[in-house]
Amino acid sequence: MLKPGDRGDLVTTLTTTLHRLGFLPEVSDHFDTRVTEAIQAFQQARGLSVSGLIDSPTEKALEEARWKLGDRSLQIQQPHTRGDDVANLQSRLVEMGFNPGRVDGIYGPNTENAVKDFQKSVGTKVDGICGPGTVISLMRLMRTVSGGAPTELRAQADRAKRGPALADKVIVLDPSTRSEISSLTFDLAQKIEGRLIALGVSVFLSRGASSTPSETERIQFANSVNADLVISIGIDNYQNDKAHGVSTYFYGSDQHGIHSLVGERFATLAQREICARTDLANNRTHAKTWDLLRLTKAPTIRLELGYITNPKDAARLNDPTFRDTVAEGMVIAIQRLFLSAEEDAKTGTLRIEDLRRAGIRN
């Protein structure tokens, strides 16, 4: 892995990419502070963790950022093609009313079907391959056609259509497998699970008390059960023990103008409920492109419930009563997600008993 101070051809390749993307004024073969700052700016723009280091997610994102629409033909293959050119294609299809699914930069079956639908509409060869002819047709029509974001609007409509009752919902809880916090996150997941089951929800945990499935395995599991929501539960850490507070994350990228509307609303509700019921500092909600958020089909949030490296946060997290309070807040946030604006209540005021009295349980 490249690191500050390195020199050579690999650094030149890295700085060439950063320069072409506009993050670095000139190409260099030296990994100096300017390169670190450029990487941090790239990570910030892509919704990655800002470290200034070339970790695996950053390396993958740099590779995807290399591609512009028209640089190569796009088609279904294994593994699926990924890149900014795919995301650009998906965005253009969405704007013209075609449905490639989530704008995730991955050329999968939904994107192929949307390309075929577009090809049918313009009278070109229908093969699901986005080659030069299809790109030219896209460019021509983009000058005259503009639209909205039907994919996300459909997600909102589907959520509203399902109604406020939790009894028919499927929710996956994904407690962190990190060794120093795994028992705390698993206990919190169980506390949320018990309350949701009492309300008639079908709940799945992505791991057992002592198992450590990989992120890929957990994503595949969540997708296999057709979840309505996925909640990943973590506890942050940082070398400086002054770092403290709770934050939530949802799928989104300012680079591509993408936001999961349902994910963002749920992250906001969860953040507000926890901050209203506890004294954890509010570190707000943030859009990220982490694979867990990007590749999970259902609206997904990542909850970072304080810092285990902060003595005050750690003391609270180790208190079972505190975890009960957080669990209740999360259940209420879930219910509020499915309530209409007229049925909703002020943050921090609903209780699980209120849900039962209102008959929001079958």
What's the confidence (pLDDT) of residue 164? 58
List the end-to-end C-alpha distance of the chain, in Å, as a whole number: 54
Per-residue tokens: 353: 């008993």
Q: Closest Cα to residue 200, out of 168, 163, 160, 243?
A: 168
What's the confidence (pLDDT) of residue 362? 42
What's the confidence (pLDDT) of residue 361? 44
> Which positions of the chain have pLDDT values less than 70?
142-165, 255-257, 340-362
Q: Closest Cα to residue 206, out of 233, 235, 179?
A: 233
Domains of the chain plus CATH, in order, are 9-65 (1.10.101), 84-148 (1.10.101.10), 156-357 (3.40.630.40)
What contacts 307, CB < 8 A, 6 or more positions away? 235, 236, 237, 238, 241, 243, 244, 245, 313, 314
Answer whether the bond into residue 132 is a cis peptide, omega within 30°. no
What's the confidence (pLDDT) of residue 225? 95
What's the confidence (pLDDT) of residue 252? 87
pLDDT tens, 12-46?
999 999 999 999 999 999 999 999 999 999 988 88
Tally of CA atoms within 13 A in the half-sphere of 68 that contains its CB: 3
Q: Closest Cα to residue 46, out of 110, 104, 93?
A: 104
pLDDT tens, 280-289?
999 999 999 8
What's the confidence (pLDDT) of residue 160? 55
What's the confidence (pLDDT) of residue 360? 44
What contacts 359, CB < 8 A, 6 or more positions away? none
